[in-house]
Amino acid sequence: MKPSGIAMVKALGIGLLLIILMLQPSCETEEEEIISGVLTTDTGEYEYEIIATNLDVPWEITVLSNNEILVTERAGRLSLIENGNTRTIHEFEDLGEAGVLGMTLGLNFDEDSDIYLFYAYEDSLNRVSRFIFDGDSLNNEEVILDAIPGHRYHSGGRVQFGHDEKLFITTGDSDEPDLSQDLDSLAGKVLRVNPDGSIPEDNPFDNSPVFAYGIRNAQGMAMHPESGEVFISNHGPTHQDEINIILPGRNYGWPIVSCGEGETDYEDPLICYEDFTLAPSGMDFFPADEGSAPALYVAGLRSEMVKRFTFDEDGSVTGEDDIFQDWGRIRAITYHQGSLYLSTSNRDGLGNPDAEDDLLIRVTPK
């Protein structure tokens, strides 16, 4: 007996439905593929992983003990990256190129969950505040240092605890160079305060947070892991970018001198570039293997690279290498448990962003 026309239509319909179902993607969510590879440099091979994409000018990176990563995004966000997923923890006012900059964990973060942030709250003012981070949000803001002069380009913005358990803060000259020499202004300085914002008794100037002055725009800071010395990266005018070791009460010369011009009473930089624009930003040390000294890694913006410096036992520079020149402008660099974490800054208005910029990248020496 031949099948009826209706039966044949039904059979064809069921067959088509089965084919469509077979072609549909699985309802299970697959993890986003992590892009990884190996970079070969003059200093050896590094494995890399791109662990977050589409960030908005990530300015500071802090890796937590559970391997979650906090990132400040200059446009006004604190974000948390967990297993490749990014979620917003807190939103600040979007002030463009001022925004949310430096960040550091409190001295007893695992117990009290304190976190310190440097951010702009008006067109020309910055502050450092302490918050409690509960894993999902920021709470209980306490202003540590207020009314720091700022500017869209010259705000400084790094915060970090030193080996002496004091909070160090870098500020820019807020595009008013003479303020760097004014000890009554917080602009163009390295500042030092207690964790609660009070003034340490051993600061070099009475009742003042000013620790060192004559700074143009220090966007990077790192503490030497052995000596505890404070290193900063300082933007110069066009060229003349500097790496400085910060000493209490010293004057680093801006705007009177730059790059240690001649014999002066001002503190000379450790490193200065007179004919090359590094545009240095974040920096950190990679602890030493036995028998060697820690290496300093400095992120470069306009130079689109990371500079790696090595030192002898006396602290003199013995080597300088240009590495990580594959991702454009590099804004932040942080060491954590054998790896370096980098962020790009290609969406800051001065770069050439790809579709997935900006990136967070983990780099590990092989």
Strand-pairing partners, residue 232, are 221, 244
| pLDDT score of 8 more than 50 | no
- Distances from the Cα of 121 to the Cα of 144, 157, 261, angstroms: 14, 13, 37
Structure tokens at 261: 């011009």
What phi and psi, each to the nearest 5 degrees, are found at residue 14?
-65, -40
Report cis status (omega within 30 of 0) of the bond before 358. Answer: yes
What per-residue confidence (pLDDT) applies to 33? 62
Structure tokens at 327: 């991702």
Provide the mean pLDDT of the chain.
Answer: 90
Instruction: Round to whole Å and give the CA distance between 194 and 202.
Output: 11
Interval 267-297: pLDDT, tens: 999 999 998 999 999 999 999 876 678 999 9
**Amino acid (1-letter code) at residue 123:** D
What per-residue confidence (pLDDT) applies to 290? 65
Interval 131-174: pLDDT, tens: 999 999 999 999 999 999 998 888 999 999 999 999 999 999 99
**Amino acid (1-letter code) at residue 357:** D
| pLDDT score of 29 more than 50 | no
Please give the share of the chain, as a percent, with pLDDT higher than 90.
79
Using CA atoms of 267, 188, 71, 67 in order, give the dihedral in degrees to the nearest 10: 30
What per-residue confidence (pLDDT) applies to 333? 98
What per-residue confidence (pLDDT) applies to 146? 98
CATH superfamily of 33-365: TolB, C-terminal domain (2.120.10.30)
Structure tokens at 92: 């600040």
CB atoms under 10 Å from CB of 75, counted, come to: 19
- First-to-final CA distance of the chain: 73
Q: Nearest-CA neighbor of 115 among 181, 54, 68?
A: 68
What per-residue confidence (pLDDT) applies to 3? 42
What per-residue confidence (pLDDT) applies to 11? 43
Using CA atoms of 97, 99, 100, 102 in order, give the dihedral in degrees to the nearest 10: 50
Burial-class residue 156 by CB neighbours within 10 Å (0-12, 13-18, 19+): buried
Q: Nearest-CA neighbor of 346 among 361, 366, 331?
A: 331
What phi and psi, each to the nearest 5 degrees, are found at residue 135?
100, -20
Q: Nearest-CA neighbor of 188 among 206, 211, 159, 221?
A: 211
* Helices marked H in 29-168: 109-112
What per-residue confidence (pLDDT) applies to 25? 39
Task: Answer whether 172's CB lies under 8 Å from 156's CB.
Answer: yes
Residues 90, 164, 126, 96, CA torsion sign: negative
Q: Nearest-CA neighbor of 210 among 268, 177, 171, 173?
A: 171
The three-class DSSP label of residue 14 is: helix
| pLDDT score of 79 more than 90 | yes
